[in-house]
Amino acid sequence: MASVEKLEQLYEGKAKKIYATSDPNIYWVAYKDSATAFNGVKKAEIDNKGILNNRISALFFQYLEKQGIPTHFVEQLSDREMLVKSLRIIPVEVVARNIVAGSLAKRVGRPEGTVLAKPVLEFYYKDDELGDPLINDYHIAALDLATPEQMDTIASIALRVNDILKTFMADLGIDLVDFKLEFGVHGDTVILGDEISPDTCRFWDSETKEKLDKDRFRRDMGGLEEAYQEILRRLESKLAN
């Protein structure tokens, strides 16, 4: 259990709350049941979502660490809480895509499900008031959101995470369609932060192409909790220790 004490809340996001702790190197994260889409315009409380995303994120972070990816994960504390390394978040959301879906389908006019010839990385400016607009390396450098060296590290980690998770999920009968990562600076190193869960990834059953992610909420399909349970069940079948 925690060897640190939970102190004041630093931040409340749409899906998580972040607290300071008695150790300046460590933050305390609590996952909420809130689901939002379209930059918070659509909202609901989904039973157990926080519990499922906390557990799923912990399993993904542990697996990635084992594969040599530096992440902020320290330990899972309880069903909804984890300890992470304290980060100064870089305000760039990184999306990696293997299959056309969501906003890319609209932007390039290709049908959802089109397999991309190679992975695509996209960057979005993390700013809720602006609705997280798409940006590129030039904007990032010119606006000093991250240094070119940091962006090289971020792109290389994002592509490695994509390779690792695509293979891992394929083994569980799931297509890794796309996902969003966030990075931060701890000390002077860039590491993977935030969460990796069905809120931030698109997962399709490889056989049936059934959606097992937050698109079920975004598109009013129902069955969100059951879909997240199914992702957790498949992860645990592989990773149970």
Whole-Å CA distances, 215 to 35, 112, 159, 221, 222: 11, 13, 23, 8, 10
Least spacing, CB of residue 198 vs ligand TMP, in Å: 9
Q: How far is the CB of 215 from ligand TMP (least distance, A)?
A: 8
Binding region for ligand TMP (CB under 6 A): 95, 101-104, 132, 178-180, 200-202
- Which of residues 20 and 211 has its CB atom nearest to ligand TMP in the complex? 211
Of 18, 14, 15, nearest in space to 6 by CA: 18
Cβ-based neighbour number of residue 8 at 10 Å: 7
Cβ burial of 121 (10 Å; 0-12, 13-18, 19+) is middle
Residue 22 or residue 39: which is nearer to ligand TMP going by CB?
39
Q: How many Cβ atoms are within 10 Å of 170's Cβ, its own excluded?
A: 12
Instruction: Give least dist CB 136 to ligand TMP, A.
Output: 15
CB of residue 75 to ligand TMP, shortest distance in Å: 24
Shortest distance in whole angstroms from residue 4 CB to ligand TMP: 28
* Triad 189, 78, 11: Cα angle to 5°: 50
Nearer to ligand TMP, 202 or 234 (CB): 202
Q: Which is nearer to ligand TMP, 201 or 227 (CB)?
A: 201
Q: How far is the CB of 100 from ligand TMP (least distance, A)?
A: 9
Q: Which is nearer to ligand TMP, 20 or 181 (CB)?
A: 181
Q: Residue 4's closest CA among 65, 88, 81, 89?
A: 81
The residue among 80 and 126 lying less far from ligand TMP, judged by its C-beta, is 126
Residue 138: CB atoms within 10 Å: 8
DSSP letter assigned to residue 114: P
Closest residue to ligand TMP using C-beta atoms: 102
* Cα 130 to chain centroid, rounded: 20
Q: Two tokens at 192?
A: 């993977």
